[in-house]
Structure 1
């Protein structure tokens, strides 16, 4: 799957990851949901699809801030 082929929730979440990553570093799921204008369940589903796309478009990064908000997400490196 290519970024240009994304639509709907997947496109909104991908854009949210890209925008938040540039501003504040890797965002949490809650941050992505707010940015994309989606509820947590739809955001989680979109993140899952983006993580399992071929090639992978988003990847999970452990949260080092110890805020207990769960993992953060970044755009996957392009090869």
Structure 2
């Protein structure tokens, strides 16, 4: 799947990751839901699909910060 082919919630979440990744840290699931206006379950579903595309378009990275909000998400390098 190419990034250009994304639509619906997947495209919305992908854009949110791209926008939030420019901030100081990569976004958590809650950050993505807040940015997109989607509920947590729809956001989680879109993230799951984006994590399992071929080629990968999103990476899950363990959060090394002091909070326990789960992993953060980053865009996969484009080839």
Cα distance, 1:27 vs. partner? 0.4
Match of 1:36 in 2: 36
Structure 1 gap segments, 5+ residues each: none
Question: What are the within-5 Å matches in structure 2 for residues 3-14 of structure 1?
Answer: 3-14=3-14
Match of 1:59 in 2: 59
RMSD between aligned residues? 0.8
- The TM-score with structure 2 as length reference comes to 0.95
Match of 1:48 in 2: 48
Cα distance, 1:25 vs. partner? 2.0
Q: Which runs of 4+ in 1 moved over 3 A?
A: none
CA distances 1:40-68 after superposition (whole Å, capped 9, x unpaired)? 00000000000000111101010010200
Structure 2 gap segments, 5+ residues each: none
How many corresponding residue pairs?
79
